[in-house]
Structure 1
Amino acid sequence: MRTSELDELRSFLDPQFYRSTARIVDRSQSLDAHFDVVRAGPVTIGVGRFGADLDVSMRGIDAFHVNVPSSGWLRRHQDRADPVVVPPGDAVLYQPGERVHDRWSGDCSALSIKIEAAALRAQLAGMLDAPVTSPLRLGSRLEVAQGPGLTWLRLVRLLAGDARDPRGLVHHPLVRDRLVEMMLAGLVMSTSHRHREDLDRPPRRVTATGPVRRVVDAIRSHPESPYTLGTLADIAGVGRRTLQAAFQRQVGTSPMRYLRDVRLARAHADLCGESPATVASVAYTWGFTHLGRFAALYRARYGTVPSQHRREGAAPATER
């Protein structure tokens, strides 16, 4: 959206983010706001600028929030602390319940990322293999010009860019849920918080076969479901890292690779059968949204391209 009216801007942004007040700092300037907002599950991403120096205040936000300037600057005012200027290359983080008062320069373009608090806590708990019982507070700054912060920012940009395209793969739940999970995991790995060191410790060892068997049964029964590592860990009743380690010991591969192999076998069976479905349709049905990647995996597994089996038919392979 594009507008020169503050009330119109707030009526667009507030329902998607938080209730706010805004004031143009220099009355000689005119608002020239450009904003795009997309949503993927528990994540809302805004991309835009105000076009005038603007004071923005929000009282008691209900999510984790990250602002990432790409030009200009953003000045954060927090309680009685001295204001902090956030230039491009840095990101500023806000906690649930925090009061926000920021000043945006007129030439400040930024990504604004809202992350539902429950989703981030659940992601962290799954990675820790333990519940997060105390309030989660992330560090207030994140360097995004290099290192883990830059990797996380690339994931955000990928998610935002693809969501703006009606034909983007992020609209497919098999892709969206995994991208969102990666983005949430990337944030808790990139920022400072009291649990950060725990994430580097080895997962607990599980010798019982029940958790792995439950996951194997779920995958074989419904391989078309939009599973992520998190949803498979919930089925197993253990944490993500514990499941990965147990699956590797008991099955000899990772849960997500096993899921891919089962889907590949189902696609192979369909291509070798009598269904008139196209190669693209079969691939998409079984969660392969990139046809080139699907063809490469298929050739490595079955020694020929999918279209060859579509034309000639062959005896379906048995799943592992």
Structure 2
Amino acid sequence: MRFRTRDITRVESTWKQFVPSAVLHDVDPTSFLFDWHSADLGGVSMVRYDLAAEVRSTAEPQEQLLVCRVDGPEARVYSDRGDLDARSPWISEGQRVHAHWEGGARVTALVFERKALERQARRISGDDSLSVRVRDLSPRSAHAAAAWDRMFAYIEQSALTLADNSSDELLRAELARHSAATTLAAFAVADRLERHRPAQAAPAPATVRRALQYIAENAHSPITVDDVATAVHISTRGLQYAFRRALDVTPAESLRQARLDGAHRDLRSGTPVTVSAVARRWGFSHPSRFAAAYRESFGVLPSVTAAKHRR
């Protein structure tokens, strides 16, 4: 969704679609201009807007995690506990955060559904006992903050090319995973829960074979390692352990290879299609990274495969 407006009522009503608790106070109508861009990635929404006005705002997300940065020469950001660094992103899972700026500011934000981010945290770590809890509103370090900013710029640029239909469903899911992984690395948000059941026993090799079959049959869809584990009736952590023990690879590596294999088949088919289109179809949004991964797997660049089999 993209639009520009001078209608003040659209600001709060639009923002409330993403953070229902958000409230704007004292918006100056004399210098008002609202430029909005957002994208739904599934479990997380990307939001970027420029708001030219004197603004006081408050956010208190519920059942969500809001990661936000307010960038403006006069911007001030603070929680009920004290000031936050307006030059860095911050995170909240319910703590009230206030912002004030004069003249104008750019706001960049990712709004995660709590359960979706928790699933991503467990999938990435392989630990089914992880729970998302914000321990510090500020990022772990200046380096972590810079990494989050770079990730957001990449997500927004990639989101501009997403189609409204389901043709980019896999790419949309990969962008959601990337945003979750970087956010989890940038902020102290993961705690271990006490286990309420014993660790799962080692599965038989048949479980791994069934998982590989499920991956092969569904790699074209936006499945996750959690989906694979559910399909073969095992915990995500148990699946991680089973793959390591039987194949010395992770389920995520197997899924990535299955998608590379799918791209390889498409390029060998001779069907007139660009390398970038094949990459997007299989969830690779960055052409150079796709080319590097493809070459590592098949020994040649994808363009070479496409040219060799072009009809």
Same fold? TM cut 0.5? yes
2:174–2:283 Cα contact (<8 Å) kept: no
The whole-number CA distance in structure 2 between the counterparts of 1:159 and 1:8 is: 24
Q: Does 1:84 align with 2:83?
A: yes
- Within a 5 Å distance, the mapping from 1:163-312 to structure 2 comes to 163-166=159-162, 172-193=168-189, 195=191, 206=202, 208-238=204-234, 240=236, 243-269=239-265, 276-278=271-273, 280=275, 285-287=281-283, 305-311=304-310
Aligned to 2:15: 13
Aligned to 2:31: 30
The one-letter code matched in structure 1 to 2:93 is: Q
The whole-number CA distance in structure 1 between the counterparts of 2:62 and 2:201 is: 39
Aligned to 2:6: 4
1:66–1:93 Cα contact (<8 Å) kept: yes
Which whole-Å deviations, capped at 9, do the CAs of 1:179-204 have from their partners, x for residues lacking one? 31232233233322461799xxxx99
Shift in CA distance, 4/251, structure 1 to aligned 2, threshold 3 Å? same
Which stretch of the first structure deviates more once superposed, 38-47 or 249-258? 249-258
1:299–1:306 Cα contact (<8 Å) kept: no
Structure 1 gap segments, 5+ residues each: 313-320
1:144–1:153 Cα contact (<8 Å) kept: no
The whole-number CA distance in structure 2 between the counterparts of 1:100 and 1:21 is: 11
- Note the aligned Cα RMSD (angstroms): 3.9
How many residue pairs are counted as aligned between the two chains? 298
Using the size of structure 2 for normalisation, the TM-score is 0.75
Which whole-Å deviations, capped at 9, do the CAs of 1:258-285 have from their partners, x for residues lacking one? 3344444455555556x64546466655
The whole-number CA distance in structure 1 between the counterparts of 2:59 and 2:249 is: 47
Aligned to 2:48: 47
Shift of 1:116: 0.8
1:68–1:111 Cα contact (<8 Å) kept: yes
Shift in CA distance, 310/279, structure 1 to aligned 2, threshold 3 Å? farther
Shift in CA distance, 288/38, structure 1 to aligned 2, threshold 3 Å? closer
The one-letter code matched in structure 2 to 1:50 is: L
Aligned to 2:110: 113
Shift in CA distance, 93/268, structure 1 to aligned 2, threshold 3 Å? closer
Aligned to 1:316: none
The one-letter code matched in structure 1 to 2:83 is: V
Q: Does 1:94 align with 2:95?
A: no
Shift in CA distance, 271/255, structure 1 to aligned 2, threshold 3 Å? same
The one-letter code matched in structure 2 to 1:8 is: R
Shift in CA distance, 145/160, structure 1 to aligned 2, threshold 3 Å? farther
Shift of 1:162: 1.4
Considering only CA atoms, is the larger Rg found in Structure 1 or Structure 2?
A: 1
- Within a 5 Å distance, the mapping from 1:141-156 to structure 2 comes to 141-143=137-139, 146-156=142-152
Shift in CA distance, 131/235, structure 1 to aligned 2, threshold 3 Å? farther
Structure 2 gap segments, 5+ residues each: none
Shift of 1:297: 5.5
1:77–1:100 Cα contact (<8 Å) kept: yes
Shift in CA distance, 119/105, structure 1 to aligned 2, threshold 3 Å? farther
Identity of aligned residues (%): 22
Aligned to 2:128: 130
Which whole-Å deviations, capped at 9, do the CAs of 1:297-320 have from their partners, x for residues lacking one? 5566556621354148xxxxxxxx
1:247–1:253 Cα contact (<8 Å) kept: yes
1:298–1:306 Cα contact (<8 Å) kept: no
The whole-number CA distance in structure 2 between the counterparts of 1:282 and 1:107 is: 41
The whole-number CA distance in structure 2 between the counterparts of 1:292 and 1:246 is: 32
Shift of 1:9: 1.8
The whole-number CA distance in structure 2 between the counterparts of 1:59 and 1:257 is: 38
The whole-number CA distance in structure 1 between the counterparts of 2:174 and 2:128 is: 21
Shift of 1:163: 0.9
The one-letter code matched in structure 2 to 1:95 is: E
The whole-number CA distance in structure 2 between the counterparts of 1:261 and 1:60 is: 38
Q: Does 1:69 align with 2:70?
A: yes
The one-letter code matched in structure 1 to 2:77 is: R
1:271–1:309 Cα contact (<8 Å) kept: no
1:143 aligned counterpart, secondary structure: coil
The whole-number CA distance in structure 2 between the counterparts of 1:29 and 1:243 is: 59
Shift in CA distance, 55/197, structure 1 to aligned 2, threshold 3 Å? same
Shift in CA distance, 31/105, structure 1 to aligned 2, threshold 3 Å? same
The whole-number CA distance in structure 2 between the counterparts of 1:62 and 1:253 is: 34
